[in-house]
Amino acid sequence: MKTPSKILITGGAGFIGSHLVESLLAKGNEVICIDNFLTGKKENIEEFLGRKNFRLFKYDIIQPLKKEIRQKIHGITRLYHLASPASPPQYKKYAIETLLVNSIGTYNMLEVAKEERAKFLLASTSEVYGNPLVHPQKEGYFGNVNPIGVRSCYDEGKRFAESITMNYHRKYQVDTRIIRIFNTYGPKMDREDGRVIANFINQALRDIPLTMHGDGTQTRSFCYVSDMVDGLSRAMESKGANSEVINLGYPKEYTISEIGKIIVDLTKSSSEIKRYPPQEDDPERRKPDITKAKKLLGWDPSVSLTIGLSHTINYFRSL
Ligand code: UDP
């Protein structure tokens, strides 16, 4: 971004959101964060609170923005819409909230982007591919989602969000980009949010058994948060991204049992890996095809799993 902008981030107190806030502030932008703290945490953004180019509003965007906030955000040129629970235990717990923030919340934010003529970025998810029958997943794959399953609040919520975003682009020419975020990890992950990297590291650091669901042959690809944030801002700034749907994720696949072993090694833990029942509708394989992001954005994630995990382990150790 050449000149500083006024930018709105929903979900800015979340894990990825708070790293994005940090990066946009460091580039000299004025950043306004809206978060209802359902799953986001004030600690994630506390360090920015005193800065004159940062503002925080505690607000639930399933309500249209109240006048005071609407006035304060006037003049934004970019809107990053990240607000949503994103870890499986949390979106299962807050299923209705997840559906509403992704449907009504996205509608409310698209209205703001339309009125302000701001560029709009939707943080979508690899979950729109469900339990994929095509591997690796390319953006053109329509997915294999159980519409009534326990994960559907998130999967279908995001699929609705993608649809309404595309329709605001078609009908009102809002400058949109939909980013399908694959598994991401790093410092500021919520220790309690139940995702595999946070769980395994914290279990390993306490030398208690690692809770592996199923036989551990299911796969994921893990992207370090600084690479993800770089991809998100490239997607916002790139002219060619208008109206596009783009995968962002690390293109190397690991089984969950491999992840357990790597974390035990890196933490020098005495933990064993213990099997628990598989989770319902748990996708068996997941790996992004990032050809499009490479070509369109010049994006190529550079932080290896070992380096990224070491930073994350140090972070959890320091808590
Ligand atoms: N998982 C696990 N133990 C845990 C947490 C997760 O074995 O303590 C597995 C989970 O069943 C899934 C994978 O790790 O197969 C990734 O789960 P996560 O909740 O991190 O995110 P997802 O990719 O499912 O959204």
Pocket residues for ligand 1 (CB within 6 Å)? 87-88, 183, 195-196, 199, 211-213, 218, 220, 256, 279, 282
Q: What is the pLDDT of residues 88-103, one digit of tens each?
A: 999 999 999 999 999 9
Mean pLDDT of the 125-132 span:
98
Mean pLDDT of the 116-137 span:
98
Q: From the CA of 222, how far away is ligand 1's center (Å)? A: 11
Q: From the CA of 142, how far away is ligand 1's center (Å)? A: 22
For residue 287, which of 135, 87, 143 has the smallest C-alpha distance?
135
- Percent of the chain whose pLDDT exceeds 70: 99
Q: What is the pLDDT of residue 106?
A: 99
- Nearest atom in ligand 1 to the alpha carbon of residue 200 is 8
Q: What is the pLDDT of residue 158?
A: 99
Q: Which residue from 126, 196, 201 has its CB within 8 A of the most atoms of ligand 1, so it is best to mutate?
A: 196
Q: Is 136 exposed, middle or buried (0-12, 13-18, 19+ CB in 10 A)?
A: buried
Mean pLDDT (the chain, rounded):
97
Q: Does residue 129 carry a catalytic annotation?
A: no
- Percent of the chain whose pLDDT exceeds 90: 98
Q: What is the pLDDT of residue 191?
A: 93
Q: From the CA of 195, how far away is ligand 1's center (Å)? A: 6
Q: What is the pLDDT of residue 3?
A: 84
CB atoms within 10 A of CB 244: 18
Q: From the CA of 66, how far away is ligand 1's center (Å)? A: 37
User: pLDDT at residue 214 above 90?
Assistant: yes
If you take atom 23 of ligand 1, which residue's CA is the nearest one?
183
Say if residues 28 and 40 touch (Cβ distance below 8 Å): no
Instruction: Give the active site residue among 80, 129, 154, 250.
Output: 154
Q: How far apart are the C-alpha atoms of 266 and 3, rounded to whole Å?
A: 42
Q: Would you place residue 1 in the very low, low, confident or very high pLDDT band (cuts 50, 70, 90)?
A: low
Instruction: Confirm whether pTM is higher than 0.95.
Output: yes
Say if residues 273 and 260 touch (Cβ distance below 8 Å): yes
- Structural domains in the chain? 6-185+223-251+283-302 (3.40.50.720)
Lookup result for tokens 């799993």: 305
User: pLDDT at residue 161 above 80?
Assistant: yes
Q: What is the pLDDT of residues 240-291, one digit of tens each?
A: 999 999 999 999 999 999 999 999 999 999 999 999 999 999 999 999 999 9
Say if residues 76 and 7 touch (Cβ distance below 8 Å): yes
